[in-house]
Structures are given as structure tokens and as C-alpha cells.
Amino acid sequence: MEKKPLILVSNDDGITAPGIHTLVKVMQKIGEVVVVAPDGPQSGMGHAITIGNTLRLDRSLAFAEVESYECSGTPADCVKLAKHHVLKNRKPDLVVSGINHGSNSSISVLYSGTMSAAIEAAIEGLPAIGFSLCDYGHDIDFSHTEEYVELITRQALEFGIPAGVALNVNFPKKSAKPIAGIKVCRQARAKWEEEFDERKDPQGRVYFWLTGNFVNHDKGEDTDEAALAQNYVSVVPCQFDMTSNYAITVLNNDWNLNPEAEPAGSSKTVESGRAEG
């Protein structure tokens, strides 16, 4: 019999969230599934890890016939513990995270616990995908995502994902119109324009509540936001190497960081961040 791929599943909404149950159901069609997920909501944790505090990992009964564990830490903690403890003698063929309840497109990828699990896997040398549904409703319906989750997962297993890359996959909210297809995109230049609402608790103490609006300043048609607006599934390849190679050249050419050396802009200025010698 053909060996089934080993798939590690995690998320940031917690091990009891509907999205991870949808994801596990799809992954069971494809391979052997192991779940390591937070024991409670960890949304917006970004790439936080637990330092100077205890981490607990317990067997979970959240999934029938699936080896599963709930972790007291963050999504990144879950992937670390999975690789180095739960699966220390086995290497996952793929790590998937989600399906997140809410969008992780554009700038949200930086704050996302869902994507932190996927990016942590990429750091560990494992191919990874984060799945999110752009719906914040109470009675969220994940059913229209299933065939696309399966398709993208099978493609990743068959053809691979470039090293150091995690795929950020976002689904449009379910509507009367069927999903138009899948687009590989770049991350839109968009951001949250935030406000802090000052309030008082019942004891009269001041506290703040983060509010604001998401504003897309990017008019390009090749972005994740454009794809989602047209009812496409967006796929953005993300890398954890955040170096700006262009800025290395600018700093080396325009700044004088070694005053006793050659002046900035001289012929001996270091290019592209490569030190002489």
C-alpha cells in the first residue's frame, strides 16, 4: 500500500474551533493527521513564543480517530512542540494551519497566529500553508472552502513549496455566487487605520478599546485584496526572511557609517550588503 503523507494541523482559534475541524476533515482524505493546537483562542498573537513560563501539552479528545494534543502556548509554540516532541522521530510532509475565522490577507499576515504557525513550520524546514476565511460572522460556514483546501493541499504535496516559504491562502466569504477560481497574488499594500476608544469600566477606571477601519491603498489587480473582491481564492507565498535587499544598497551607497573610511558614494562603497574581504 502507498504510504500516506504525514500532515500536522494547527491553528490559532483553538482546538475546539469549527475551522480546524473542517481542516482536519479534509486532511483525513489525504493523509495521516496529527493535531497540535492551542487549548484556547490565540488570535492576533503574531509570532509570539512562550519564554519564562510553563508550557503544557495534553492529549485531546477533540477529534475521533486522530492523534491530537492541546497546548497552553501560542501557535508557534504548537509547531515547535510538534516537531521537537510529538513528532521528534518523524518529519511531517506538510503543516497546515486554520481554517481561521476571519481574514489574514494583506498586512494581517504580520499579526496572524494562523500564519505564525505556518511560518514557524517554514523556519523549521517544513512546507506549510495557512488557510483563512474572510468572514467574521457568528454562524460562519466553511463548506465552500473544502474542495479548494483539498486541491491546494494535494498540489503542495505533489509539486512542493519553495524552501523558506509558507502559503497564505484566503477564501472569500460564502455567497450566492460560486468561487471564481484561485489566483496566486502579492500582498496588497493595505493597513488598518486604527483608533483607540477611551472608555471606563464599572469602577470608573479608564481603559482603551482598539477600533478602526481596514483601508486598501493598493489599486493593483494582482493583489490578494483584488482577488478576494472578485470572489477568487488568494494564494500569497510568504517568506520569513524580511531583509530589504534594495535598502542594503541604499544604505551602503548613501550613508556614511564608517566616517574614517571612504566617503559614502565612493567607488569602494560596499555593494548589496557584501563586506569586502
Query: What number is the average pLDDT over the span 38-62?
Result: 92
Buried b (16+ CB within 10 A) or exposed e, 170-206: bbbebeeeebeebbebebbebbeeeeeeeeeeeeeee
Mean pLDDT score of the chain: 91
Do 102 and 222 fall within a single domain? yes
Other C-beta atoms lying within 10 Å of the C-beta of residue 84: 10
Hey, what amino acid is at 252?
A: N
Q: Residue 113 — pLDDT band, cuts 50, 70, 90? A: very high
pLDDT the model gives residue 263:
56
Do 120 and 137 fall within a single domain? yes
Is the separation of the CB atoms in 77 and 55 below 8 Å? yes
Number of domains in the chain: 2
**Domain carrying residue 275:** 245-277
Annotated binding site for a divalent metal cation: 12-13, 43, 100
Q: What is the largest CA-CA distance in the chain?
A: 69
Between 193 and 228, the higher pLDDT residue: 228
Do 130 and 261 fall within a single domain? no
Q: Which of 53, 106, 117 is nearest to 79 (CA)?
A: 117
Segment of 107-111, 148-152, 218-222 carrying the highest mean pLDDT: 148-152
Hey, what amino acid is at 46?
A: G
Segment of 187-201, 211-225, 231-245 carrying the highest mean pLDDT: 231-245
Annotated binding site: 12-13, 43, 100
